Amino acid sequence: MGRCGVEVVEIGACPAATTAEARLAPGEVAVHRIALGVGGADLASLEAVLSRDERERAGRFCFGRHRDRFVIARSALRRILSVYGAGAPAEIRLRYGPKGKPRLASDCGTAFNVSHSKEVAVVAVARGTEVGVDVERMRAMPSGRAIARRFFSAAEAATLERLPAAEFGEAFWRCWTRKEAYVKARGDGLSLPLDSFDVSLEARGRSLLLATRPDAGEAHRWQLLDVRIGPGYAAALAVGGRVGRLRCVGFPGPPRGDLLHEVGARAAIHRDAAETPHEPPKRPPEELTLAEPRGLHGQDE
């Protein structure tokens, strides 16, 4: 049993669609880690399962490495969704909500979300509930305090302001990924102000009283978890309702029981806008303006 009452099950590779492991029970979420390094990848065969729109989007990348990461990630997404009953990878069709959140056009009850940063992508899959995920490669943020004051809630910015320099970086990225995962799960896009809710910045433990405004009860309708995908990365998962079992697929290193911990039920920013063709990405200033397009569905879906 993992932290906060969530059972953590680690699987080395994606299960076959015909196995029991491919069926998600209520309250169960699968999180797949995808390595986007292109060494030895057969990009032609991976691209063959993409839709025409996805191939066209791949062709619009300015740099080859960004295009290759996109192809690897989108192909992996399709194969993962196929395992969970969405159909053959090449036949999967997506539709987008009013604020750009991607869904399966087949409406088979499977929800998913995707995020990528540098050479890692994460795909979260659940049944019968909304899900959002975000991953970020942690890096130096010289303007991080100013960014927090501008975009985060007053409570979050004040907490970050009090931290010494040695602790600021990881706390900033914990806050960022937690906020983004929540916004992505809700599917509200840029319409949900980042300062309308508070997330915990603590490295561990649960925080049950973090606020959502104007509806304070919204905080109790979501569960927010940190997912530890590897050194140098921060990642978070937001799920509607309670998570009883977390299936971690393709995670590096030996099995261990500390892959996740709860940080309270709320929070996250939506860079999903960057991943869908329906609205432009939210681009905070300077360091948060990434050099590569974000997302696998059009953004960080």
Assess whether pLDDT exceeds 90 at residue 164.
yes
Q: What is the DSSP string of 205-265?
A: S--TT--BSS-GGGGGGEEEEEE--STTEEEEEEEES---EEEEES-SSS--S-SEEEEES
| Residue pLDDT, tens place only, 73-107 | 999 999 999 999 888 999 999 988 888 888 999 87
Yes or no: say if 255 and 284 are a contact pair by the CB < 8 Å rule. Answer: no
Assess whether pLDDT exceeds 50 at residue 262.
no
59 part of a folded domain: no
| Residue pLDDT, tens place only, 21-54 | 678 988 899 999 999 986 667 888 899 999 999 9
69 part of a folded domain: no
94 part of a folded domain: no
Strands 245-249, 28-35: pairing is parallel
| Number of structural domains in the chain | 1
CB neighbours (10 Å) of residue 53?
11
Domain enclosing residue 25, as ranges: 3-37+109-288
Preceding peptide of 214 cis, ω within 30°: yes
177 part of a folded domain: yes
| Confidence at residue 175, expressed as pLDDT on a 0 to 100 scale | 94
80 part of a folded domain: no
214 part of a folded domain: yes
197: three-class secondary structure by DSSP: strand
How far apart are the C-alpha atoms of 79 and 84, rounded to whole Å?
9
Closest by alpha carbon to 179, among 212, 217, 228, 216? 212
Assess whether pLDDT exceeds 90 at residue 180.
yes
Closest by alpha carbon to 269, among 200, 198, 202, 177? 177
CB neighbours (10 Å) of residue 104?
19
104 part of a folded domain: no
- CATH at 229: 3.90.470.20
User: What mean pLDDT comes out for the span 163-175?
Assistant: 95
Total length of the chain: 301
298 part of a folded domain: no
